[in-house]
């Protein structure tokens, strides 16, 4: 990953400087995303509907699979995801789309490839910590996630009532 802080395998503890560099890199990626979003808003094209033939061509690019998770996609239950995000000035041409499950597309947002890869790595690592529940972090992460998910579900139910 470009710009990524590399930490060679070692037996000694990770230093505060390495932790700070990692945090700084995540913050920089976030700032870059915000800058691209703001820049993209000024010259953003209006969204256009895709024709049936364009949707068929886009779905064929990945042989009917979500380009994010690799899972099979039903013929009508998918979204055309921008390769270069709409918010970053991505075009509305079939060449700039790949098929994705709605859930996958919503979680990907407009992250850069580097930032999204880090999010996936952090998520997989955190999941392992939660699954094992051997560490204080695993237990705290599980409790925090369950509380967050409960609030999120409640918000969705409220929205559906409206």
Instruction: Say whether pTM exceeds 0.75.
Output: no
Angle between helices 136-161 and 113-132 (to 10 degrees): 110
- Sketch the domain layout of the chain as residue ranges: 1-43, 52-108, 112-162
User: Has residue 41 got a pLDDT over 60?
Assistant: no
As a whole-number percent, the residues of the chain with pLDDT over 70 amount to 85
Q: Report pLDDT for 132.
A: 81
- CATH fold, domain 52-108, is DNA Binding (I), subunit A (1.10.30)
Q: Which of 31-40, 106-115, 128-137 has the highest mean pLDDT?
A: 128-137
User: Has residue 79 got a pLDDT over 80?
Assistant: yes
């Amino acid at each position: 990953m470009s710009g990524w802080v590399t930490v060679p395998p070692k037996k000694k503890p990770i230093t505060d400087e390495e932790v700070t560099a990692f945090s700084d890199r995540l913050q920089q990626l976030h700032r870059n995303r915000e800058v691209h979003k703001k820049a993209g808003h000024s010259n953003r094209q209006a969204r256009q509907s895709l024709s049936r033939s364009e949707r068929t061509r886009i779905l064929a690019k990945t042989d009917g699979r979500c380009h994010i998770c690799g899972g099979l996609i039903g013929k009508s239950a998918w979204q055309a995801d921008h390769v270069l995000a709409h918010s970053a000035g991505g075009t509305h041409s079939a060449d700039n789309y790949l098929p994705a499950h709605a859930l996958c597309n919503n979680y990907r947002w407009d992250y850069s490839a580097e930032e999204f890869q880090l999010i996936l790595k952090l998520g997989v690592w955190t999941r392992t910590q939660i699954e094992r529940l051997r560490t204080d972090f695993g237990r705290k992460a599980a409790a925090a996630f369950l509380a967050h998910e409960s609030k999120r579900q409640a918000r969705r139910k409220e929205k559906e009532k409206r």
